[in-house]
Amino acid sequence: MNTTVAKFGGTSIADAAHFRKIREIVAEDSARRFLVVSAPGKRNASDVKVTDLLLSVYEKAAEEENFEPGLLLVRDRFLGIIRGLFEKEQLQKEEEMLSETIRALRDRLLSDPDKAYTASRGEYLAARILADYLGYTFVDPEWCVCFTEDGVLDLPMTLRTMGAALRPLQNAVIAGFYGADANARIHTFERGGSDVTGALAARAVSADLYENWTDVPGLLAADPRIVPDPKTVDFLSYRELRTLSYMGASVLHTDSVLPASDIGIPINIRSTEDPKNPGTMIVRKLPKGGLRRAVTGVAGRKGMSVIQVEKVMTSDGSGFASNILESLKKRNLPFEHCLTGIDTITLVIRSDLLAPVKESLLRELTEELQPDYISIRDELSTIAVVGEKGTDSSDANVQVLQALTRAGIEITTINQGAGKLNLLIGVPEGSYEDAVRAVYSVIKEETE
């Protein structure tokens, strides 16, 4: 039997109507055996996420201020959900479970307020309610997501324990976002960490698929704040995901899916608002044929600086590049990418990281390397264009560069490594939006 782990994010579990949607989604495919949930998120733009409510309750308790009104808001959020889902005796049972959870939290907040424990109660309650609603087993990650005492995830132990907890079960709902250490102290992942729990569950049961249900129908090919109504990407490789998420595309973070992608489990981003939409499938290798697009997506970042150093005849000797990199290393200054030519090196660096050490770095490079030319240019941005299908020809590069040229955009750097299309293009910050739109026009043309 196929096994899918389906993770539902905050907006997908925000109210009783969404719990009902989840039931429909699960009923459509018996492979959806293991569900991972976040805490209820925003129901509308002015709403507050349950995790944020809980964190402000914790802050108040830690300051010995009155946290009761905040706690009541949390209780009322769940009460609204429970009352929309259950009736009679079951409703009473759920209300008792909720009161008991809120009572235990209140006691803890009064005696020994704990941030992680408080934050975790949103996922705990959401998972318990969903499990009861679907007739699934509730699995508390307190017993199977294992952290070391320093709060670092113990991956081998987690996979063993989670596998042992889940494998014998036909169906289960697992609370996302938290686990516990050997002293049974609750730890949470970073914000948004239910994605990690989902990936861990998928790996622990060697799932065939990891579904990530959210409120958008997949990864958008460009930032919708820049490109109106961009297309959704149908297939994406892990590598493309890495580049786009590193460059700021709002999509799953690579490290949050690593446990699943590490062993090649495909990840499917889906929307509870549009469940028939197949969403975006993220895979190790893109399927052959069919998809004839050269460019998959575009993302980018502003706030870049470029250091350019030139010295004649340095390409013949060794040490020029390593000396420059050594000066960066001494200052703990990472670079985004590095371009080398004959007797010249160009480094692209985040301006906010460069600023504090700019003067000293410039002085050191000038004194030690005695370059023929050295300059720093700020207010640049980098645009990443990815598309693994565009490898066979340089058409994609040509199309992208032509589109940028047609739009009258100055190209300050181009970085194209060997292999798949993974083009990093530098443009002035002022042309950033126009450049993204120009690259997107290539994607749009291709998919139409």
Task: Tell me which residues touch ligand ASP (CB under 6 A).
Answer: 10, 38-39, 49, 51, 122, 176-177, 191-194
Query: Rounded to whole angstroms, what are the CA distances from 260 to 101, 109, 264, 280, 283?
Result: 32, 36, 7, 16, 10
Nearest distance from C-beta of residue 178 to ligand ASP, angstroms: 9
Nearest distance from C-beta of residue 179 to ligand ASP, angstroms: 13
* CA angle in degrees (0–180, nearest 5) for 250-254-257: 110
Output 113 or 193, the one with its CB closest to ligand ASP. Answer: 193
Q: Which helix (H) or strand (E) holds 354?
A: helix 351-354
**Residue that the structure tokens 């995901």 belong to:** 241
Output 6 or 400, the one with its CB closest to ligand ASP. Answer: 6
Torsion from C-alpha of 192, 18, 140, 188, nearest 10 degrees:
20
Instruction: Give the torsion sign (CA, 242, 247, 249, 250).
Output: positive
The dihedral region occupied by 250, where left means phi > 0, alpha psi between -120 and 50, and beta the remainder, is beta
Output 199 or 306, the one with its CB closest to ligand ASP. Answer: 199
Output 115 or 160, the one with its CB closest to ligand ASP. Answer: 115
Output 254 or 416, the one with its CB closest to ligand ASP. Answer: 254
Nearest distance from C-beta of residue 37 to ligand ASP, angstroms: 9
Nearest distance from C-beta of residue 368 to ligand ASP, angstroms: 46
Nearest distance from C-beta of residue 273 to ligand ASP, angstroms: 17
Strand-pairing partners, residue 267, are 210, 282
CB 19 within 8 A of CB 129: yes
Output 122 or 141, the one with its CB closest to ligand ASP. Answer: 122
Output 48 or 362, the one with its CB closest to ligand ASP. Answer: 48
SS3 at position 439: helix
Strand-pairing partners, residue 137, are 172
Q: What order of strands is seen across the sheet that includes strand 178-181?
A: 146-147, 178-181, 186-188
Q: What is the DSSP letter of 136?
A: P
Nearest distance from C-beta of residue 255 to ligand ASP, angstroms: 14
Nearest distance from C-beta of residue 194 to ligand ASP, angstroms: 3
